[in-house]
Amino acid sequence: MLLSVIIPFYQVQAYIGACLERISRLPQDACEVLLVDDCGRDDSASIAAAYCQEHANFRLIRREANGGLSAARNTGMKAARGEYISFVDSDDLPEPEALFALACDAQRAHLDVAKARFRYFDDETGRQTDGPAIPATGVMTGGALFAAQCRAGLYEPMVWQCVFRRAFLEETGLTMAEGLLFEDELFQAPALLKAERAAASDRVILLYRQREGSIMASFARSARWCASYLEVCRRLTSLSVQLPRSQARRALRKRTGQIALSVAKNIPAYRLPEEAGAGVFAGTPAGAFLLCAQKRQRGGRRAGAGAGGVAGAVHGGLCAPFGKQMMAKRASNGRQSCAAKQGNFFKG
């Protein structure tokens, strides 16, 4: 069997039918579809069961308790039998012909990871817009692909952009990080960085539904959102220190910094209490940036820049490997903006 498609679902009765109708067009003799019920209370399970009755290559797997998206994906991975694995979110719209062609391409080239394109799909209007214009590549290391996409501003972490060789995942021990939001950040990048053979395709394999009520929308303004992203930063930093000096390591450090700064600078905009940021980001470059942002709100740009400099000098934690760089930059250019100071932490 070539491909196992893992589709966890929870409270998506309005969307899962459209997803399964599309994925049912995959060749039955070469693909299996694993529907993982994460113990929702609506009619999603009934819809999934009906598709399993109609399609011999569909399997319904019922979890004993709700565990979240990562746990449900891990359940599907354990049950998978295909040479390659792909993930589809149950509210999105897969392009099955392109997905199958991507898996065939990966098999022919003996790839560990193959990555493709997606389009955004507006749930209210039905309008489609292009996602990042990933160019097709030849076979290269996954680290080289990761670095190239980061440099070009084309990297996105969603696991459903890829097909992964199942034996490769088992050999490397890669599983989804349970108990966190944004778990995709901790799967695709590590997979690429471990992959000896990877490539990108310009095929569009999925329409990414933009809707209210999704996991991303539900937590976009919460302290849990911030805490999960900080843990992602910590784990990516831990991964980066294990890598040899390379373009891939530089790209990973830069991405980690971008994530931390993005979260920190948005805490004031989201009007979360200051203690949420102080507790979540203490000892990190994001904490330094947060202090800078808060000072700017109260005392203007000059106060913010000064606070950023002080915070950058005293904060360790996530950016500890870059402490000397931080202090040197502060000493050599006291007028450098707060944001620019933080950006320097993630070079090298």
Domain boundaries, the chain: 3-218, 223-344
Q: How many C-alpha atoms does 304 have within 13 Å on its Cβ side?
A: 19
The residue-averaged pLDDT of 190-218 equals 87
Q: CA torsion, points 10, 14, 17, 19, in degrees to nearest 10? A: -70
Q: What is the pLDDT of residue 273?
A: 52
Q: What is the pLDDT of residue 174?
A: 97
Start-to-end CA span in the chain (Å): 43
The residue-averaged pLDDT of 162-166 equals 98
The predicted-structure confidence for 301-338, as pLDDT tens digits, reads as follows 443 443 343 333 323 444 443 443 433 444 444 434 43
What CA–CA distance (Å, rounded) separates 147 from 155? 9
Residue range 3-218, CATH number: 3.90.550.10
Q: pLDDT grade, residue 272 (50/70/90)?
A: low
What CA–CA distance (Å, rounded) separates 229 from 221? 12
Q: pLDDT grade, residue 220 (50/70/90)?
A: low
Q: pLDDT grade, residue 263 (50/70/90)?
A: confident
**Tokens, residue 242:** 């294990």
The predicted-structure confidence for 76-118, as pLDDT tens digits, reads as follows 999 999 999 999 999 999 999 999 999 999 999 999 999 999 9
Query: Mean pLDDT score of the chain, rounded to an integer?
Result: 82
Q: pLDDT grade, residue 270 (50/70/90)?
A: low
Q: What is the pLDDT of residue 331?
A: 42
What CA–CA distance (Å, rounded) separates 191 from 206? 20
Q: Is the CB of residue 281 less than 8 Å from the CB of residue 307?
A: no
What CA–CA distance (Å, rounded) separates 343 from 261? 9
**Tokens, residue 119:** 């389009």
Q: pLDDT grade, residue 222 (50/70/90)?
A: low
Count of other CB atoms within 10 angstroms of residue 223: 17
